[in-house]
Chains A and B, each alone.
Chain A
Amino acid sequence: MDLFTEGDPIADTRAPDGPIETRWERRRFEAKLVNPANRRKMTVIVVGTGLAGGSAAATLAEQGYRVRSYCYQDSPRRAHSIAAQGGINAAKNYRNDGDSVHRLFYDTVKGGDFRSRESNVHRLAEVSVNIIDQCVAQGVPFAREYGGLLDTRSFGGAQVQRTFYARGQTGQQLLLGAYQALERQIGLGNVEMNARHEMLELIVVDGKARGIVVRDMVTGEITTEFADAVVLASGGYGNVFYLSTNAKGCNVTATWRAHRKGAYFANPCYTQIHPTCIPVSGDHQSKLTLMSESLRNDGRVWVPKAKDDDRAPRDIAEDERDYYLERIYPSFGNLVPRDIASRAAKNVCDEGRGVGPTKLGVYLDFADAIGRLGRKAIEAKYGNLFEMYERITGEDPYEVPMRIYPAVHYTMGGLWVDYDLQSTIPGLFVIGEANFSDHGANRLGASALMQGLADGYFVLPNTVANYLAAGPLEKVDATHPAAVEARRDVEDRIQRLLAVDGDRTVDSFHRELGQIMWEHCGMERSEAGLRKAIDEIRALRDQFWQRVRVPGNGEGLNQSLEKAGRVADFFELAELMCIDALHREESCGGHFRAEHQTPEGEAQRDDDRFAYVAAWEFTATGEPSVLHKEDLNFEYVHPTQRSYK
């Protein structure tokens, strides 16, 4: 059986034409508006309360819509955006170092290895400056200079200093800003907050997204919830690899359920492996911890020149060390983009020059920076990160170089959306990491926070109004056949999971799935490996449905049941990721196919065949998906072989 079939190309992304710097303004002007009196009669469901979902829910409520917000955590403040460390990009050019909206746009398109949509990325760069203003007004305590103005620093893939930060907790501070704006609206009665609720199905009525099925994770009660539009801000799917820097609860269920109901899933194989994470220490490992990319501003990456050199790092003389990023990429040095830094680390470890007990690690050394700037300065910049490293590893990075290794961190793929961030299901909008929109095949550091807040504060509130203005829609309630069916599907699935009563835990399956994905769909992929992975995933999925053991029942708090539902969806996604990776016979950004590399081992794109977004349509369980191509046209940034040398 073929793995997929090909359908019609996607002809229209609804992006306005004309000069790129006028498109967003035109879109906003042409968008229909909803009269303030009518907004009160309209309800928007927002799933997820991270930077995208939290900011969207708060902003929609400020504008007068009724908002119902859902998150699986016990509070909206805990969404995983909170863990973002390094910073947020914005084209403020406060440094007078040549930055501009156009340069941020250019860097992002190039950083994404020419696999993103120019119109969307330009809009992102435009609103980046408003985000900083907004966050400062909310009281976000960004780092400042002695003169009282905002400090910025460098990040990978850029030669200007455009990254705003709040020590190593930028995500936390930005999220708390959005959370506080959201709580204000909750207090005013404009947002109905439903924490510890998980979306398990999308309700589609007459072709339009009209609601969701949710499970109250405390009582186990399953209800149907209705709205005029549904916004998914449910994050990425990195946990398909089991080990990742994502929070344990991060999952694909909301977007996968929407995919099964008709929303196309775009570029699922584009995953970001972050170069600076703490290496795996043993089989018990439940998650991986990121060390912010900002560390590469002052830390130097190296391995011994010789293979199997087991000496302590300080015993290895300067001329016996290979500062391989500085050697291979002299102009960007330690600040090459993430995909390049990760693959370089893999290559030196594959050569047998890795360090640490598992030999899967490289040094990130601060000795030079401490010598140059003093320990105090390094403490002020990275103190909390150094402490975290020491808590986890038991080693003091002021004395001994850090050991780092790449880990799954972010997923550029996600539900396909048009320029308005609307999926292929009318009324279903997708924002933040959950969509595929702005990062192409590789996301630059400090751009996820920018995109989440751009979507939530500034883009979606404008574009969703245009959709709602066509209303009002007919009332729908729990007795509608589509709602009854969606609810029954959820209940049946839960009963099926509970009924297996097998002999393996959910986590054991999840770990095994993760190993398959890391091995064959991780930093390097090949046709043979991907075909093998697809077979293994299918076999393991069958085993899962025959042998999983989910204790307890569906009534009340049951964390095993929650995990089982998420892992079941990861199995289906994993297969599509491998198919997408297999069909894309080129290397680009985070997608590196062993068969497609330059003589120097860099990613070799094939623009003639693959300069498109791969948008996958679900057909039926076990049936081949349909591939729809959205051609990418580059009018402003001419695709070149990316060079950071």
Chain B
Amino acid sequence: MNLTLRIWRQSGPQDKGRMVKYQVDDVSPDMSFLEMLDVLNERLILAGEEPVAFDHDCREGICGMCGLMINGDAHGPQRGTTACQLHMRQFSDGDTIDIEPWRARAFPVIKDLVVNRNAFDTIIAAGGYVTAPTGSAPEAHSVPVAKADADAAFESAACIGCGACVAACPNGSGMLFTAAKVTQLSLLPQGQPERYTRVIGMVDAHDEAGFGGCTNAGECTAVCPKGIPLTTIGRLNRDYLAATTRHADTPGT
């Protein structure tokens, strides 16, 4: 099939950026979306033009490195699918496709479709862990975990940190990302000792990094390639409330 692409080109953080039109012909429906971009880039290089910079690595939907706004949808039209797993059979001959980077205050553009997502790491560093230095662990079976809790924790732990939630949110909020980690760890017995310090640390880091607040728009969960539910944000709010009221003066309880 033959496609028209309109791609965001921006040479660096200082450049204003613009949409540039490209024609790509003979696209196979079995190609992945990124393979289609590879074809375009090969052609641009041979024509003496700068190829389009975009982030990608595993190309199997798990590393979270790729992230494109495709026709205004984070990761494109197919639900539960990262851009790298999106295949061209989802499009039709003659389509025009707009491709843009994540746009959010906390994710500044580096070049073309590549953005800086370090803010996510900063949120994890502020509490998204269990303090368990190597060697200190008790025998794994000493603390059973109810299967329902383990399964629910896993659902939240499936987050790949791609940032689609932030890109889709009208406020540029990173709350779904933050809530996914808070939920995973607060469901497990291992996460209890730091439960309330964690949620405060992570939410503070989230706000300081320039993410917007959550207004329950729900766009985040609609585009999440791993289907992280909105209920995680409810759980975060409950923990946050508990942390700032009941537990404010009695750390560790």
> Contact residues of A with B, CB < 8 Å?
55, 58-59, 62, 73-78, 80, 82-83, 92, 94, 130, 132-134, 136-139, 141-150, 166-167, 169, 172-173, 176, 179-181, 183-184, 186-187, 193, 195, 218, 245, 247-249, 281-282, 284-287, 289-290, 387-388, 391-392, 394, 457-458, 461, 503, 505, 507-508, 549, 551-552, 556-557, 559-560
With A193-B121, A457-B134, A557-B110 given, is the CB distance from A387 to B55 under 8 Å?
no
Q: What distance in Å separates the Cβ of B75 from its nearest Cβ neighbour in chain A?
A: 12
Residue in B65, B134, B140, B150 whose CB lies within 8 Å of A62? B134
List, in ascending order, chain B residues with CB within 8 A of A505's CB.
42, 45-46
Whether the pair B137, A78 counts as a contact (CB closer than 8 A) is: no
A148 touches which of B32, B55, B144 (Cβ 8 Å): B144
B188 touches A139 (CB 8 A): yes
In the complex, the answer to whether A183 meets B63 with C-beta atoms within 8 Å is no
**Bound CA–CA A253/B130 (angstroms):** 34
CB-CB < 8 A to B36: which residues of A? 284
Give the CA-CA distance A183 to B147 in the complex, in Å. Answer: 28
* Contact residue among B53, B85, B120, B160 (Cβ-Cβ distance under 8 Å from A557): B53
Please indicate the chain B residues that have their CB under 8 angstroms from the CB of A184 in the complex.
125, 129, 131
Question: Using Cβ atoms and an 8 Å threshold, which residues of chain B touch A387?
Answer: 80
Shortest distance in angstroms between B229's beta carbon and chain A's nearest beta carbon? 15
Residue contact A388 to B60, C-beta cutoff 8 Å: yes
The answer to whether B64 touches A180 (Cβ under 8 A) is: no
Q: Is B2 on the interface with A (CB-CB < 8 A)?
A: no
Give me the 7 closest cross-chain CB pairs, A-B, nearest first: A148-B144, A187-B125, A180-B129, A137-B137, A137-B132, A133-B137, A141-B154
Q: Which of B49, B51, B57, B160 contacts A247 (CB 8 A)?
A: B57
The answer to whether A75 and B157 touch (CB under 8 A), given A82-B63, A551-B48, is no
Give the docked Cα–Cα distance between A150 and B118 (Å): 34
Q: How many A-B residue pairs have CB under 8 A?
A: 221
Q: How far is the CA of A180 from the CA of B62 in the complex (A)?
A: 17
Pair A148/B85 contact, Cβ less than 8 Å: no
Q: Is A286 a contact of B38 with CB atoms below 8 Å?
A: yes
> Which residue of B51, B59, B117 is within 8 Å of A75 (Cβ)?
B117
Supposing A55-B134, A141-B154, A458-B134 touch, asked if A391 and B81 sit within 8 A by C-beta, the answer is yes
Find B35's partner among A247, A285, A290 (CB 8 Å cutoff). Answer: A285
Query: What are the residues of chain A within 8 A of B56 when measuring CB–CB?
Result: 248
Query: Is residue B178 within 8 Å, beta carbon to beta carbon, of the partner chain?
Result: no
Size bin of chain B's contact surface: 35 or more
B133 proximal to A (CB < 8 A): yes
Give the residues in chain A near B57, CB-CB below 8 Å: 73, 78, 80, 247-249
With A78-B65, A394-B87, A559-B51 already in contact, 11 other A-B pairs whose C-beta atoms are closer than 8 Å? A74-B55, A133-B139, A137-B137, A139-B184, A144-B145, A180-B129, A285-B35, A387-B80, A391-B61, A551-B51, A552-B50
Q: Are B46 and A167 in contact (CB under 8 A)?
A: no
Known: A59-B134, A218-B110, A391-B87. A551 touches B30 (CB 8 A): no
Identify which of A55, A58, A82, A552 contacts B58 (C-beta below 8 A): A82
Contacts of A503 in B (CB 8 A): 46
Residues of chain A within 8 A of B60, CB atoms compared: 83, 245, 287, 289-290, 388
Question: Per a CB cutoff under 8 Å, which of A74, A167, A284, A289 touches B116?
Answer: A74
Which residues B75-114 have CB closer than 8 A to chain A? Answer: 78, 80-81, 85-87, 89, 110-111, 114
* B59 touching A187, Cβ below 8 Å: no
CA distance A185 to B162 in the complex (A): 22
B216 within 8 A of A: no
User: Once the chains are docked, how many angstroms separate the CA of A80 from the CA of B39?
Assistant: 24
Evaluate contact between B129 and A181: CB separation under 8 angstroms: yes
Q: Does B28 have its Cβ within 8 Å of any Cβ on chain A?
A: yes
Tell me if A137 and B129 are in contact (CB < 8 A): no
Query: Does the CB pair B59–A78 fall under 8 Å?
Result: no
Please tell me if B12 contacts chain A, counting CB pairs below 8 Å: yes
CB nearest to B185 among chain A residues: A139
Q: Contacts A551-B48, A557-B110 given: A183-B121 contact, CB under 8 Å?
A: yes
Q: Is the CB of A136 within 8 A of B140?
A: yes
CA distance A138 to B153 in the complex (A): 13
**Given A74-B117, A80-B58, A180-B124, also A138-B129 (CB < 8 A):** yes
Q: Is B230 an interface residue (CB 8 A)?
A: no
- What are 13 A-to-B residue pairs whose CB atoms are below 8 Å? A75-B118, A75-B120, A134-B132, A134-B137, A136-B137, A137-B132, A137-B190, A169-B158, A173-B157, A287-B60, A392-B87, A394-B89, A457-B135
Contact of A508 with B120 at beta-carbon distance under 8 Å, contacts A180-B129, A551-B51, A557-B53 already known: no
Instruction: Tell yes or no: B170 within 8 A of A by CB.
Output: no
Residues of A within 8 A of B89 (CB): 394
Residues of chain A with a CB closer than 8 A to B138's CB: 133, 137
CB of B126 within 8 A of chain A?
Answer: yes
Report yes or no: B126 in contact with A282, Cβ–Cβ below 8 A. Answer: no
